[in-house]
């Protein structure tokens, strides 16, 4: 199932631009992107948003057009709070091969770094300010929590619901 409903990367990028520069205006102080970087049969889009509270979201999506749809082949969305806390949703370029289901080593590899996963922790520069932070959360290479596929829209909703005090009204396009 595709998370992107637009029939082309250009239309998707236009929708993201409208989202970043219009709908997020009440909570964003600076916005960059989407910057498009074509390569072979894929296009990478890069985004950057600085919110009113000085938190930052940086995103990267690698996309591929297929007939009348757009498929995400890789993404990374990193949200950083001024305190040093961050979360980072990531989908790897290619899923790990399933391996041997009966092998504890193969099963552990799938759990250690699932295809779609979430990192949660603190930026290395700020860990000295965060007393009591467990060592495993002090490195970006800490635990990888398995997730479902996410999108930029989803990550923005997570940020708005959990970290902003403002309610934004989004106009949905008719079906």
pLDDT tens-digit readout, 105-143: 565 666 667 778 898 877 666 556 556 666 666 555 667
pLDDT of res. 74? 92
Q: What does the block give as tokens for 33?
A: 């992107």
pLDDT of res. 169? 54
162-173: per-residue pLDDT in tens? Answer: 888 655 555 455
* Exposure b/e, 75-90, CB count within 10 A at least 16 = b: bbbbbbbeebbbbbbb
Report DSSP state, residue 151: -
Residues in the chain: 175
2-58: per-residue pLDDT in tens? Answer: 567 788 899 999 999 988 888 888 889 999 988 999 888 899 999 999 999 999 999
Helix (H/G/I), strand (E/B), else coil: 20: helix
Q: Could you tell me if 156 and 57 are in contact, meaning their C-beta atoms sit under 8 angstroms apart?
A: yes
Distances (CA, A) of 141 to 32, 96, 107: 27, 18, 19
pLDDT of res. 6? 84
Higher per-residue pLDDT: 134 or 85: 85
pTM here is 0.79
Residue 175 banded pLDDT, cuts 50, 70, 90: very low
Q: Is the pLDDT of residue 79 over 90?
A: yes
Query: What's phi and psi for 103, nearest 5 deg?
Result: -90, 120
Closest CA to 62 of 78, 48, 82, 46: 46
Helix (H) or strand (E) holding 29: strand 28-39
Domain ranges of the chain: 9-163
pLDDT of res. 66? 86
């Amino acid at each position: 199932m595709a998370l992107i409903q637009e029939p082309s990367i250009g239309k998707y990028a236009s929708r993201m631009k409208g989202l970043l520069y219009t709908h997020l205006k009440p909570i964003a102080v600076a916005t960059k992107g989407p910057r498009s970087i074509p390569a072979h049969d894929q296009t990478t889009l890069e985004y950057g948003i600085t919110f009113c509270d000085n938190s930052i979201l940086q995103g990267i999506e690698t996309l591929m057009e297929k007939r009348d749809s757009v498929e995400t082949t890789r993404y990374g969305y990193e949200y950083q709070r001024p305190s040093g806390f961050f979360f980072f949703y990531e989908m790897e370029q290619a899923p790990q091969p399933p391996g041997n289901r009966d092998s504890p080593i193969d099963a552990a590899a799938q759990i250690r770094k699932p295809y779609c996963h979430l990192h949660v922790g603190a930026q290395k520069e700020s860990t000295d300010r965060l007393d009591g932070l467990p060592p495993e959360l002090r490195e970006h290479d800490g635990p990888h929590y398995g997730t479902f596929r996410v999108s930029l829209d989803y990550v923005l909703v997570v940020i708005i619901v959990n970290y902003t005090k403002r309610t934004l009204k989004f106009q949905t396009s008719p079906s």
